Amino acid sequence: MDRRIRKTTNAIKSALIHLLKTEPLDKITIQQIADTADVHRATFYQHYYDKYDLLDQIEYEVLEKMRVNFNDKAKQLKALNSVEEAAIVFKEIPKAMLTMISEDIERYQVLLSSGRNHEIEQKIGDMIALNLKSLLPNPDEIEGIPFRYFHAFVLGSMWSLMRIWVLDEERLPIDAQVENIYKLMYEGPWRMVYRAYRT
């Protein structure tokens, strides 16, 4: 992409993110976006059909970065032979995700509080499902649990932890949150509760 075009589209995307901090999408006009980005309305329409197309493009960029990350880690997992090696990669997945998010935290904060949270979760869920199924010898179940239930549990847990972290004004450092995610996913909440009340 031409550098000038990239600069213009980045300005337009940043303008929408800025406006979404204070106004819902349906109240924001193309003129507001153009004025905030310091471009003409005609320039906006050279790149986007409307504000919904613009938001879709912003979401697509976010999801594409996540997709590349998940695909890379899935390939690594397929090549491993031990639980210990897999544990390292399982920690790398949320770390890469949180690092990527922290580098553009404002965008993620707006997207996750813009009322389209469910749509984003669904798209991420579909992406995770494809990667998980590629790792399983039987894509319909895992250790007797129907895949749809396993996927719902993993996605719900991971998504909630990610979303709370993004929106938390006192969010933990990335490494600390990675350890929390790993402990919860690997050891399981019930085992942790049991240990807590037994000690």
Where are the domains positioned within the chain? Answer: 1-48, 51-198
pLDDT for position 199: 59
d(CA 124, CA 155): 8
Q: Is 53 exposed, middle or buried (0-12, 13-18, 19+ CB in 10 A)?
A: exposed
Fold classification of 51-198 is Tetracycline Repressor; domain 2 (1.10.357)
Per-residue pLDDT 10s for the chain (199 aa) are: 688 889 999 999 999 999 999 998 899 999 999 999 999 999 999 999 999 999 999 989 988 888 888 788 778 777 777 777 777 777 888 888 899 899 989 988 888 887 767 777 788 888 878 777 877 788 888 888 898 988 888 888 888 888 899 999 999 999 999 999 888 887 776 665 656 556 5
pTM of structure: 0.80
pLDDT for position 96: 87
Strand partners, 142: 145
pLDDT for position 82: 76
Cβ partners under 8 Å of residue 92, min gap 6: 73, 76
Q: How is domain 1-48 classified at the architecture level of CATH?
A: Orthogonal Bundle (1.10)
| Identical fold between 1-48 and 51-198 | no
H helix or E strand, kind and range, residue 62: helix 51-78
The 8-class DSSP code of residue 145 comes to E
Which of 9-14's residues contact partners 24+ apart within 8 Å by CB, and which partners? 9/47, 11/37, 11/38, 11/39, 12/37, 12/39, 12/44, 12/47, 12/48, 12/54, 13/54, 13/57, 13/58
pLDDT for position 2: 82
pLDDT for position 195: 67
